[in-house]
A = this chain, B = another copy of it.
């Protein structure tokens, strides 16, 4: 989870650290809630991410999926194995390049998403309820700036 949590007003640590500690804490706690809700559908967070990524871009390759999910292509193999074994996605060989698999949602996968997505959205809205829309935008804008500035040495 990273870095200790303590919140006294005289905390001498830099604001980078305080912001990061809080972010990590929120990430962990919210992620856990989302994961628990997904568990009811037999989905892990990583597996849900696969489905949700495909929802917005069917036909991507495993390579592309690994870039979106920020995991190695080796790990994507196992992930895709598990999700396709469950019948939610399928690999289809690319007709033009026989090295490539392209990934598609099955009807079952689409149906599962239709069931699982509303709950995820609701959990998220509930967790972030203390923030006004302008504040959500603010967080998005600031963190997007950080994301864009991170070199993609990964």
Give the A interface residue count (CB, 8 A).
Answer: 64
- Residue A6 is within 8 A (CB to CB) of chain B in the complex: yes
- The answer to whether A143 touches B22 (Cβ under 8 A) is yes
Cβ-closest chain B residue relative to A53: B4
Minimal beta-carbon separation of A10 from chain B (angstroms): 13
- The majority secondary structure among interface residues of chain A is helix
Complex CA–CA separation, A138 to B146 (angstroms): 14
- A-side residues, CB < 8 A to B, are 1-7, 14-20, 22-32, 34, 45-46, 48-49, 52-53, 55-57, 68-70, 120-121, 124-125, 127-131, 133, 135-140, 142-150, 154
Could you jot down 11 A-B contacts, CB within 8 Å? Answer: A1-B69, A2-B45, A2-B48, A4-B52, A5-B53, A22-B144, A23-B26, A23-B143, A29-B70, A32-B154, A127-B150
